[in-house]
Amino acid sequence: MTEAAQRAHMVTLHIYRGDQRGGVEVAYDVPVEPGQVVLDALEYVQEYMAPDLAVRWNCKAAHCGSCAAEVNGQPRLLCKTRVDAYGGADIHVRPLQTFPLIRDLVTDVSWNFDRARDLDPAFRPNEPPPFDLPQWEVDRVQEFHRCIECFLCQDVCHVLREHGGTDRYWGPQLMVRFAELELHPSDAGDRLDLLENEAGIGYCNITHCCSDVCPENIEITHDAIIPLKERVADRYHDPIGAWLRKLTRRPAASTGSGE
């Protein structure tokens, strides 16, 4: 904490300022207000100290997922992270690490949107609506619809973050999207080939880090990835299943080659 911060009721934020060419953390002293979130503090910095501070935000209510960043090394939504949670200690705010930096706290997350476009087929109903569905079946799919596309799970996925695996694995956020389609009771689309090959579901080794950071508390590993892995295994890695398919002449789309 700087001296000025100690004198008044202030908190010191160390905010990463920079772009692809490099950057540093810059300290800003911000007055503390009751209930303040880190995004409030950043807005204060914008208004009074650094009008060009780059930070994404939209709804400020944890509904849109725009303001994902790292606070003291933890992936967080800035609009949901209380300043008082750090007990007056300095707060370090840095951009997501998995994606290329644009400026300050803003990263280029377009890769995720490109993969979402590649996720084909989209929802393919086996009959036109209205669907006669019980609430419990709706709930199962709705868990995945809670995703706010903040990409915090992509930020902590070690395949993407430590191993730069965006060319091999689409990451937990896209697995949630797969699950929402594959587990929809009225969906007739087949995406297992895509999942096994291009999307590289085999690279996930179920470390659960993604589920831990999800601000919507989606059980990404248990509810999305594991059921998807089971479906892929049934089709591509189960010798008895393969033999049965041969017998009944139901062709598998391809054999597992993604690993």
Partner 1 sequence: MPYEVVHQDVLVIGAGGAGLRAAVAAAETGVQVGVVTKSLLGKAHTVMAEGGVAAAFGHMDGQDTWQVHFQDTMKSGHFLNNAHMVELLTREAPDRVLELEGWGALFDRTETGEILQRAFGAHSFRRLAHVGDRTGKELIRTLQNRAVHQGVAVYPEIIITRLFRDARRIAGALGYRRADGRFILFRTPTVIVATGGWGRLYSVTSNSWETTGDGANLAFSVGAELVDMEMVQFHPTGMLWPPGVRGLLVTEGVRGEGGLLYNADHERFMTRYDPERMELSTRDVVARAISSEVAAGRGTPHGGAWLDISHRGAPFILRKLPGMRDQFLQLADVDITRQPMEIAPTVHYMMGGVRVDPDTCATAVVGLYAAGEVAAGVHGANRLGGNSLADLLVFGRRAGLAAAAEVRDDPQLSEIAETEVQLAIAEALAPLGRTAGANPYAIQADLRRTMSQYAGLIRTGTGLTQGLERVRALQRQAVSLQVTGGPAFNPGWNLALDLQAMLVLAEAIFVSAIERTESRGAHFREDFPREDPAWGRFNLITTRGGEGGLRVRREPVVGAEPAAARTERPATASSGGPGRPGGSGGSGGSGGSGGSKEADQT
Residues forming the site for partner 1 (CB under 8 A): 19, 33-37, 40, 46-48, 51-66, 80, 82, 102-104, 106, 108-110, 113, 116-117, 120-123, 125, 128-135, 138, 141-142, 145-149, 180-181, 184
Q: Is the CB of residue 181 less than 8 Å from the CB of residue 187?
A: yes
User: Which is closer to partner 1, CB of 122 or CB of 206?
Assistant: 122
User: Which is closer to partner 1, CB of 103 or CB of 237?
Assistant: 103
Nearest to 27 by CA among 9, 46, 11: 11
> Closest separation between CB of residue 149 and partner 1, Å?
6
The tokens describing 167, both together, are 């060319």
d(CA 176, CA 201): 11
The tokens describing 110, both together, are 């377009």
Measured CA to CA in angstroms, residue 224 lies from 69, 103, 142, 259 at distances of 24, 33, 12, 20
> Closest separation between CB of residue 85 and partner 1, Å?
10
Question: In a 10 Å sphere around its CB, with 0-12 CB exposed, 13-18 middle and 19+ buried, how is residue 142 labelled?
Answer: exposed
User: Which is closer to partner 1, CB of 126 or CB of 207?
Assistant: 126
> Closest separation between CB of residue 103 and partner 1, Å?
4
User: Which is closer to partner 1, CB of 10 or CB of 54?
Assistant: 54
> Closest separation between CB of residue 180 and partner 1, Å?
8
User: Which is closer to partner 1, CB of 1 or CB of 85?
Assistant: 85
In the chain, DSSP assigns E strands to: 10-19, 22-31, 68-71, 74-77, 91-94, 101-103, 106-107
The tokens describing 223, both together, are 């509810």
> Closest separation between CB of residue 246 and partner 1, Å?
33
For residue 8, give every residue at least 6 positions away whose Cβ sits within 8 Å of its Cβ, in sequence order, or none. 29, 31
> Closest separation between CB of residue 23 and partner 1, Å?
13
User: Which is closer to partner 1, CB of 65 or CB of 75?
Assistant: 65
